[in-house]
Amino acid sequence: MFHDITLEELLKKQHSENHTIIDVRSPKEFNETTIPGSINIPVFTDKERAEVGTLYKQVGKEAAKERGLKIMSAKMPEFIAKFQQIDTPKTVFCWRGGMRSKTAATLIDLMGIDVNRLQGGVRAYRQWVVSELEKADFPPDIVVLNGNTGTGKTKLLHQLANKGYPVLDLEGMAGHRGSIFGHIGAEPNIQKEFESQLVQVMHKFREAPFVLMEGESKRIGKVTIPEFLFDKKEQSTQLFIDLPMEQRVRNILDDYEPWNQPEKFIEAFNRIKKRIHTPIAKQIDEDLRKENYHQAIRLLLEYYYDPRYEHMAEKYPENKTKAMEATGMEDAISQIENELFKMNPQKTKSVSCMN
């Protein structure tokens, strides 16, 4: 017989062992929000779930159960084979620990495969996320990376994370790069999914002496940073990184690859071109249509993004800001690491010991 486990038990398993958690809800539900780190092996496709749900509402519970069983019987070998390929301990869950996870766990158990089922499903996880955010409690100091558009702040954070530094990648969690073009080539997350990922990372770094994050607006794409975290970020140490214009243009071209979706860049530009001096806006529009992206990006930086960013450093106290003029990305990483060490050698050493 499969084992029912609590969310607390599941979180401990996630942190202490190589554990696979499996969302058996439909792909649409999974893509909207899930428990971070889970994989999707659905009992029903989106279409099948809609069909069973309609039967439940229009005919009744028994008719829906019969149809669900018929659908599941036809795909049982394929469903079980996917579980057999997973060689780690497994926990399945659905929306609230109901029929879908019970059906999945029962079938898998009958095939001699050990499996747990999460009590309360993803709803229990969501309730935990909300309660954690309501505590408004995140002890580590925050060090914020700022810089003009194209400075490669997200790339710098990723490189620092690879070196073992604790990082909150808010744009990664939001599925949005933060600019007017930030949705292009990305899959924006809804607030629930953003909060789920955020709480998991905050939980992971709760004992860290400090975390690094990017200087974001309160809203990133479709999501909003929790007020307590945004306020703490605003009161924290701010590192302002200055890179040469040519490096910034290269960073943007590398990140966005506008030649892959040219029409989306023109569409996004049309939403802001009224805010740019007409002759310059006309030139940018022409460059985008001719796919002269290097020139278009340079003009956007000079005449749209940089003026909007100009006075940002002035809103922070002088003793909370540090300007860094870097020749390139490697130099920026080196200066950031040096600054972290100067700010607090013991805390920086303890971070390296954690990894």
Q: If you classify domain 3-131 with CATH, what class do you get? A: alpha beta
Rg (CA), the chain: 24
User: Residue 317: its pLDDT value, please?
Assistant: 87
Whole-number Å distance between alpha carbons of 88 and 86: 6
Averaged pLDDT for residues 81-103: 94
Q: Highest mean pLDDT: which of 39-43, 252-256, 339-343? A: 39-43
Cβ burial of 195 (10 Å; 0-12, 13-18, 19+) is buried
Mean pLDDT of the chain: 91
> CATH topology of 3-131 equal to that of 138-354?
no
d(CA 196, CA 178): 19
Supply φ then ψ for residue 34, to 5 degrees.
Answer: -155, -175
| CATH number of this structure's domain 138-354, picked from the four choices 3.40.50, 1.10.3470, 3.90.1580, 3.20.20 | 3.40.50
- Position with higher pLDDT, 303 vs 180: 303
Cα distance between residue 328 and residue 338, in whole Å = 15
Over pLDDT 70: what percentage of the chain?
A: 95
Whether 348 has a pLDDT exceeding 90, the answer reads: no
Domain ranges of the chain: 3-131, 138-354
> Residue 88 burial by CB count (10 A; 0-12/13-18/19+): exposed, middle or buried?
exposed
- 285: region left, alpha or beta (phi > 0 left; psi from -120 to 50 alpha): alpha
146 forms beta bridges with 240
**CA pair distance 327, 345, nearest whole angstrom:** 25
Distance CA 41, CA 191 (A): 23
E strands, the chain, where?
Answer: 3-5, 20-23, 39-40, 90-93, 116-118, 141-147, 167-168, 210-214, 219-220, 223-224, 237-242, 321-325
pLDDT single digits (tens) 143-153: 999 999 999 99
**pLDDT over 80 at 142, yes or no:** yes
**176-221 residue pLDDT tens:** 876 777 667 677 889 999 999 999 999 999 999 999 999 988 999 8
Judged by DSSP in three states, 323 sits in: strand
For 209, phi and psi rounded to 5 degrees?
-70, -30
Helices (H), 238-277: 245-256, 262-270
Grouping H, G, I as helix, E, B as strand and the rest as coil, residue 220 is strand
The more confident residue out of 311 and 102 is 102
Residue 14, pLDDT score? 81
What is the reported pLDDT for 10? 93
Please give the average per-residue pLDDT across 3-8, as a whole number: 94
Separation between Cα atoms, residue 313 and residue 315, nearest integer Å: 6
The amino acid present at 15, given as its one-letter code, is H
CA dihedral 124, 125, 129, 130 (to 10 degrees): -20
Q: How confident is the model at residue 167 (pLDDT cuts 50, 70, 90)?
A: very high
Residue type, 161: A
Between residues 79 and 355, which one has the greater pLDDT?
79
pLDDT tens-digit profile of 14-48?
Answer: 877 789 999 999 999 999 889 999 999 999 999 99
Q: Which of 61-65, 183-187, 222-226, 240-244 has the lowest mean pLDDT?
A: 183-187
Percentage above 90 pLDDT, the chain:
76
